[in-house]
Structures are given as C-alpha cells and as structure tokens.
Chains A and B, each alone.
Chain A
Amino acid sequence: MVNQLEIRNLHARIVDGETILNGVNLIVPKGQIHAIMGPNGAGKSTLGKIIAGDPSYEITKGDILMDGESILEMEADERARKGLFLAFQYPVEVPGVSNANFLRLALQAKQGGEVNMMEFYGKLQKALKTLEWDESILTRYLNDGFSGGEKKRNEIMHMMVLEPTYAIMDETDSGLDIDALKVVAKGVNAMRGPNFGALLITHYQRLLNYIVPDAVHVMIDGRIVTSGGPELALRLEEQGYDWVKELAATAS
C-alpha cells in the first residue's frame, strides 16, 4: 500500500463556473506535515475543500488518491470515514446539537457502531487538556456563538478526537492571536506521528514557527509552482510572492 495522500494533475472548477485548479500535483506522505502557501485567490482553500469532497466544485481532470485508492467518486462523509479531515476556515454554526454530542455522532459514524463512552470521554479530556480548554465548550451548541478563535480551536479538538489519517487545515491560523496560535500548534503537534499526515493551508509564515513543516509548497493560479523545505516559507515572508509569480509566468 502506498502510504500517502496524492493529488495528481488535478483540474477543477466551480460547478458550471470559473476554473480554479489548473493541474495540481502534490504528495503528502503519511507521517509528514506539509504547508501550502500562496497569495489570495491562488486556489489553496479550494484545493482543501475539493480534497474533502465539497460538491460545489467539479473535477474536470486528474485524481485524488488516499493510500493508493481514488476517492473522487466518494461523498464527503465517506471520505471522512476513510480517515480524511478538513479543519474549516469558517466552521458552520449549528444550534440544537451540543459540541460533544455531535462529536460522538461523528465518531460513531466513523467506527460504524456505538462509541465506548469511557473511551470517548478520555479522548475529549485529553484534547481539552492539550488545547488548554475547559469542559464548558462541550455542552454548548456546535460553534453556536463561538468566537473566531474558539471556532478554530474547536476544529482542532474535533481533529484530535476523530484521529484522521490525513488532515487538511484551511487557514486555521488566520485571525488567531499569538497565544491561541500556540495552543492550536500544540494540538497539531500532538497529532504528529507515523500514522498522521497533514496539509496546512496558510497565508503566513508565522504558524510555521510553531508547526515546523517537512515541506512547503507554493501555489499560484491553481498550480504548485515551487516546493522546498521550511526555509522557503521564510523567503516568502521576506520577499513576498512576486518572484514566485515570475517563476510561474516563465514556467507557463
């Protein structure tokens, strides 16, 4: 079995609309954390949503393979049950279901049967401790009335409880103050291990001070134009994206 999340020559557009991805090639091996950076409108968030199965986009060419198996034909819930997770940039507020109950339902769906309550409670406690959070967040309705920071932190808590094989974090760092950012990074770092791969989508190098990636990719106009190690993020921070844009222009 190939232990990796592979994006192969992916072309995609908004259903009946504008083309966003123009041939993305990317491999995230299990056990590694990769970052995708790029200017606004490069298609980073779209890539994340497409991997997770957002039906508002259609794939016109290419494939997405999880451990060697194509997931293109699967709906979002099936992909999640296979071990994929997307931490949303804008998590949705859902009154009527408590945070903990929702997580229990999600875990139940993933395991295909009743959840052992002791085990579940243990996972919640562990996640809350890592994220320096108290239990009151569990009984509140899912994201309902959460502050921006609480929503982001809650996405990481969901990830920690659901224990995906591959996680995509869509600008989880945006809008976080430095303390919150450190806590979120702690959560992601706690997930690190041979059975976990992640793709961090971010605008800023700042997050990468706390989550040191194994590789950094730069996306412009719907494709990856260059890749490198953590030092690439530092160069982008110092020099901006103009030099990569030139690189992209000469390449195409």
Chain B
Amino acid sequence: MELTSTLSRDLILQVSSKLGEPDWLRAKRLLAWETFARLPYPTPRTEEWKYTDITEVPFEELSLELPTGQPRAIPQAVQDRLAQAQLSGYAVFVGADLVHVELPEALREQGVILCSLHEAMARHPRLVEENLFRAVNWSDLVGTQQNRPENSKIPALNAALFTHGVFLYIPRNVEFSKPIGVFKYLEGGQLSASRTLIVGDVNSQAVYIEEYISPAKVAPSVNTSSTEIIVGDGAKVRHAHIQLLGQGFYHFHRQRAHLQRDAALNDLVVNMGASLSRAEVQSEMLGPGSSSEMLGLYFTTGLEHVDHYTLQHHVADHAYSDVLYKGAAKDQSRTVYAGLIKVEPGAQKTDAYQTNRNLLLSADARSDSVPQLEIGANDVKCSHGSSTAPVAPEELFYLMSRGLPRHMAQQILVKGHMTDVLTRIPIEPLRQYIESIIEEKVRV
C-alpha cells in the first residue's frame, strides 16, 4: 500500500492498519494525534526549552519512515559493533525493519522475550497492552512547576506515529548479566519514530543496551524515540541509550522508568552524535526502597547541540537516586543540562543527588546548566551541584610539556573529566567503545 507522506489523521489510520494493530492501540494513536495537532511546538520561550531552539527542525516536511518488509543485510557499522560488544542476545533494525533478532536458547527457555513490539502485540497481547504508554505517553508532563503543555508535542508525535519498536520482557526471578544489545541503524532523510518497552518482572535482573547509528552525514533527518522501563518489585535493570547518529540528525529521546518496591535501575545515556539532540531521562521512585543511578556522558564538537533533562521523582519513601552527568564541548558547540529532584510530601528518608559538570575545550563552546530541587518532605537528604569550566591551561601545558600533541593532551583531559562516570560503567566492552568515541571526537 502506498501511504501518503504528510502527517495527518489519515496517515495514522493507514499506518495502524498496515501494521495490523489492535483497536485499543489505534484508539490511543488517535488520542495522541489529537494532542499533537492541538499543541504548539516548544520554543525558546518555553522554560524547559530556553536554550534549545527547534524552530528549524523539519518535523513535518519529512516522509515517515515505514517498514519496507524487504530483507536487509546487517550494515557493516552494526557488524563491527556486534563483533566488539560481547552480547548475549541482540536485535538489529535497519530503518523501521527488524532484520535480525537472536536470543540464546537458555534465555528463551526461561521465558525471556526479545522481539519487535508488533510481534509482541500479536503473541503477548496482555503484556503489551498493560505496559505500553504506562511510563511514557502523549500527555505526561515533564515534572516542573513551570511545565507547559507543548512539552508533550514531540512525545505525542512519537505515540501517534511510531512505526516500530522493541519489546523485552524478563520473567519473575530470571536473571542475566551479559547484555542484550539493540542496534538501530538509520539511513537518514526521513522522520523516524520508534518505541522501546522493557518490563522486568518481580526479582528479575537484566542488562540492555540500545545504540543508534547512521552514516556520518545525512540529509536533514528526525529521530524520535520513547523508552519505557518497568522495574518490578526487587527487580534490577541496567539500561544504556547510546546515540551516535550522523550530522544532519535531530534526535529526540524521552525515557521514563517506573521503579517499584526495592527495584533498582542503573541508567546510562550517551549522546555523542547528531546535529541536535535532546534526551529527557526520568525515574519515578514509586516503591519504597527503590534506587536509580542515572549517568550521562556527552561530547559535542563543531556546531553540535545537545540538551539533557533529568527528573528524579521521589514518590515513595526510603528511595535513593543519583544523577551524574558529565560533558565536554569543543569548537562552537553547545551543551545544555537541566535537572530536577522532585520529592513528594510522602517521600520521607529520600536520598537524592544530582551533579552536572561541563568542560569547555574552546572559547566559543558553551554549556548551560540548570539544577533544581523541589522538596515536599522534611526528612530527606538531597544535594545538587553544577559547574562549567574551561580546560585549565596549566593542565594542558603539563601534558604537552611531556611531548604529547595538543589533541592527545585534550583527549586525556576529556577522559579524565569523564572518568568518574566511565568507571561506573561495569560493562567493559561498552566502556572501551565509549572511550574510543571520545578519542575520535577530540581528534577530528
């Protein structure tokens, strides 16, 4: 079926029918579409978008990326990653097509599910219907008091139009520590919309890495991704979102984790690509004793712009959260960080920390950092801090005086700046990969 490419209610109905979706999902897509159609785009006058101007992003000028249904080879860039990443299972998307998925027999036998969202809808309808849009939907608010409805514009677009996604389910008491990797290879030139749904049942443990890869330079492209992570009672999920898209990409990511009683999330967001990217990373401590470690790394060069928003939302008591976001900016690039620790009145004995540190490698680079606290309970430990500083000339001089060329000295200082995040990534191949990206970016 030929689909119209312009965004419309009709297009959504066509997409939903082409993907063979159940009625409930079509109804939700239409609700999301109504929200999208009603809301304006965020502008720099929207408090949460003060430092990120998206007026030039061609959301509605691009055609929607749809599954082709054609067999596709695994791109070389993904093959290279597969060779290095030491994964247990993996899935590869090229555009909206799932081209390969592999899960070890041992995990399948224990009931672990790794498949496309649409396959999951057909085979595990109840699991999907219960959980899809549970943590990230088309009207949820970012969490700040100033929150404006236009913050829902892009998530509504994603919910209305997503064409593909990943579903990972880890049954009760099942544990694995070797990562599952999902690679999304985007060819560019289109509007791409995808979702990820991870459900860790009671007392389960899982490690999941999602990577976005594309050619180094593409025609203007938009990628929107929504990730929902449900961490059940006593469950542990380690999650990483690694974005290494090429120049030309506008990348918008929203993720939210729901943490139940004694649940633990170790989250890592790495944004080292795309012309402009924004990631909204949120943890909801819904159960007492839950804990959320939220790490972030970013490094911008050239004219790149990266924007992060984190939310540590403490709803239940005795929960812990720790945000550590570290970034560096070179050339005329720009980084933005805003984060909020929000403690609800019932969330006594909350332990919450938030740190953002930025390193500037040139006089024209810029970082903005806005840490915020909103505390409604009286028996809590919370702290936040942020700093932005240029590379200290005496540090550069020291390293160069031992014979290292400037770019190598800068590499060492950037890695040094990020060391306390890097050392908290226990997945050795992933850490090495991130270090190699940093080295490459300093050199160019």
Contact = CB atoms under 8 A, between A and B. Distances in A.
B433 interface: no
B394 interface: yes
A82 to B, nearest CB: 9
A75 B402 CA distance: 11
Contacts of B412: 94, 96-97, 102, 105
B185 to A, nearest CB: 31
B426 interface: no
Given A55-B393, A94-B395, A105-B408, A80 B400 contact: yes
A49, A81, A94, A106: residue with the most chain B Cβ atoms closer than 10 Å = A94
B419 A95 contact: yes
A53 interface: yes
Interface in A81-107: 81, 85-86, 88, 91-92, 94-97, 102, 105-107
A110 interface: yes
Interface string B398-421: 111111111011001101111110
Contacts of A49: 397
B402 A54 contact: no
Size category of the binding interface on chain A = 20 to 34
B422 A96 contact: yes
A206 to B, nearest CB: 26
B413 A81 contact: no
A162 B394 CA distance: 20
A97 B416 contact: yes
B397 to A, nearest CB: 5
A76 B402 CA distance: 8
A94 to B, nearest CB: 5
Contacts of B394: 56, 92
A132 interface: no
Contacts of B399: 92, 94, 102
B406 A91 contact: no
B406 A94 contact: no
A95 B393 contact: no
A101 B406 CA distance: 17
Given A94-B412, A96-B415, A96-B419, A106 B402 contact: yes
14 contacts: A52-B397, A55-B397, A56-B393, A56-B394, A56-B397, A77-B403, A85-B401, A92-B392, A92-B399, A95-B416, A105-B412, A107-B403, A109-B404, A162-B403
Interface of B: 392-395, 397-406, 408-409, 412-413, 415-420, 422
Interface of A: 49, 52-56, 75-77, 79-81, 85-86, 88, 91-92, 94-97, 102, 105-107, 109-110, 141, 158, 162
Given A77-B401, A102-B399, 13 more contacts: A53-B400, A54-B397, A56-B394, A76-B400, A79-B401, A88-B398, A91-B398, A92-B398, A94-B416, A95-B420, A106-B404, A109-B408, A158-B402
